[in-house]
């Protein structure tokens, strides 16, 4: 389904009228930030957390955007209502603006360009239930992955490599330490304990990741943020990725190139979704279902 409406500078416009200049720095440099917000039953899910993360990304990029949280929330809601989205996503991005092409910040300061769209997207129940195949690759991205930057070439290339191996996601390692997926966060389970990379500059501070950590704490599931190696992941009992559109997807196999440069695939644990992952999936699903029920009760 093609979007009929777009957001441009806080205002809804017909999709075909949403245009920016060729010297928009988002287009030329990837100089900006973005967010993707999930919509369940016509309502924005965890929207304030996404808006606050957008605000943080812009501050780290030194892009001035007053009242960011309020404007992101309002823009997202306008798109959901205009497109009549029931289950889907809202994509919002803010670039530094239009200016003659130089690498340093423009002077005088450019006006940021705020744009977005909304589209339907069903929940991926089959992959959530069956699990996914993944491809292990070097993390070739930049060193500020805590910023949700428009510049996603590292993710594009690794995701494409995964697709060419018939894998759903690329999971990334830097100097032998696992970081995250190309478009998701990564967890492993060892001896009943949930482990994920610390929230530093090497990974995105995922909103779904934060909720999983919160739910794990509330349900007394042992959980640690710590670094772990490729070998530790390959020897884990369970592993899964998580994200706004993926929710929680079990990893059943990891493909990689061995020391002889031969491609092999190794199952994680039994090669089936494990009990800790299933427990977390059920807990997260109840969280989403309670949110949806609350929406329906208010309507």
User: What pLDDT is attached to residue 294?
Assistant: 83
Compute how many other C-beta atoms are within 10 angstroms of the C-beta atom of residue 275.
Answer: 12
Residue 27 clears pLDDT 70, i.e. is over it = yes
CATH number at residue 10: 3.30.470.10
Same domain, 58 and 149: no
Q: Is residue 296 part of a domain?
A: no
Same domain, 132 and 192: yes
Phi then psi dihedrals of residue 116, to 5 deg:
-175, 165
Token pair for 228: 């772990």
Q: How confident is the model at residue 3 (pLDDT cuts 50, 70, 90)?
A: confident
User: What pLDDT is attached to residue 295?
Assistant: 64
User: What pLDDT is attached to residue 297?
Assistant: 65
Predicted model pTM: 0.96
Token pair for 55: 């605000």
Q: How confident is the model at residue 60 (pLDDT cuts 50, 70, 90)?
A: very high
Residue 58 clears pLDDT 70, i.e. is over it = yes
Distances 231 to 179, 235, 289 between C-alpha atoms, Å: 13, 6, 36
Q: How confident is the model at residue 206 (pLDDT cuts 50, 70, 90)?
A: very high
For the annotated catalytic residues, the residue numbers are 148
In tens, the pLDDT along 222-250 reads: 999 999 999 999 999 999 999 999 999 99
Q: How confident is the model at residue 2 (pLDDT cuts 50, 70, 90)?
A: low
Same domain, 91 and 153: no
Q: How confident is the model at residue 298 (pLDDT cuts 50, 70, 90)?
A: low
Inter-residue contact 100 to 108 (CB < 8 Å): no
Compute how many other C-beta atoms are within 10 angstroms of the C-beta atom of residue 150.
Answer: 20
Same domain, 50 and 139: no
Same domain, 247 and 284: yes
Residue where a domain stops, chosen among 104, 121, 138: 121
Distances 5 to 81, 91, 115, 138, 139 between C-alpha atoms, Å: 10, 12, 11, 38, 36
CATH number at residue 135: 3.20.10.10
Same domain, 116 and 149: no
Q: Is residue 297 part of a domain?
A: no
> Residue 104's beta-bridge partner residues?
none
- Tokens 């304990």 belong to which residue? 193
Q: What is the mean pLDDT of the chain?
A: 97
**pLDDT above 70 coverage of the chain, percent:** 98
Same domain, 54 and 155: no
Number of folded domains that form the chain: 2
Same domain, 144 and 267: yes
- What integer is the mean pLDDT of 153-158? 98
Print the domain residue range for 117.
5-121
Same domain, 90 and 182: no
Residue where a domain stops, chosen among 93, 121, 149: 121
Q: Is residue 10 part of a domain?
A: yes
Q: How confident is the model at residue 299 (pLDDT cuts 50, 70, 90)?
A: low
Q: Is residue 171 part of a domain?
A: yes
Residue 291 clears pLDDT 90, i.e. is over it = yes
Q: Is residue 294 part of a domain?
A: no
Contacts of residue 197, defined as CB under 8 A and 6 or more positions apart, other chains included, come to: 177, 178, 179, 180, 186, 203, 225, 226, 227, 228
């Amino acid at each position: 389904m093609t979007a009929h409406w777009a957001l441009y500078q806080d205002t809804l416009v017909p999709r075909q009228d949403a245009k920016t200049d060729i010297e928009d720095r988002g287009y030329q440099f990837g100089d900006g930030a973005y967010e993707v917000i999930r919509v369940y039953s016509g309502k924005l899910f965890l929207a304030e957390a996404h808006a606050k993360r957008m605000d943080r990304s812009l501050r780290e990029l030194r892009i001035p955007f007053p009242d960011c949280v309020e404007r992101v929330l309002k823009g997202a809601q306008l798109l959901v209502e205009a497109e009549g989205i029931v289950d889907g996503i809202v994509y919002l991005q803010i670039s530094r603006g239009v200016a003659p092409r130089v690498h340093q910040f423009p002077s005088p300061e450019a006006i940021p360009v705020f744009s977005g769209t909304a589209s339907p997207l069903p929940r991926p129940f089959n992959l959530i239930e069956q699990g996914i195949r993944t491809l292990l690759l070097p993390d070739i991205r930049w060193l500020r992955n805590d910023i949700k930057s428009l510049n996603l070439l590292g993710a594009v290339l690794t995701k494409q490599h995964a697709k060419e191996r018939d894998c759903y996601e690329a999971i990334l390692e830097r100097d032998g330490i696992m970081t995250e997926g190309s478009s998701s966060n990564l967890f492993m389970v060892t001896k009943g304990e949930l482990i994920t990379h610390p929230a530093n500059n090497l990974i995105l501070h995922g909103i779904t990741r934060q909720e999983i950590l919160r739910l794990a704490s509330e349900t007394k599931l042992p959980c640690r943020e710590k670094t772990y190696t490729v070998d530790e992941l390959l020897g884990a009992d369970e592993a899964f990725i998580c994200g706004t559109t993926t929710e929680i997807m079990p990893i059943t196999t990891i493909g990689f190139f061995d020391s002889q440069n031969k491609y092999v695939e190794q199952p994680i644990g039994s090669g089936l979704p494990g009990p800790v992952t299933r427990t977390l999936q059920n807990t997260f699903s109840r969280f989403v279902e309670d949110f949806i029920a609350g929406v329906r009760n208010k309507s």
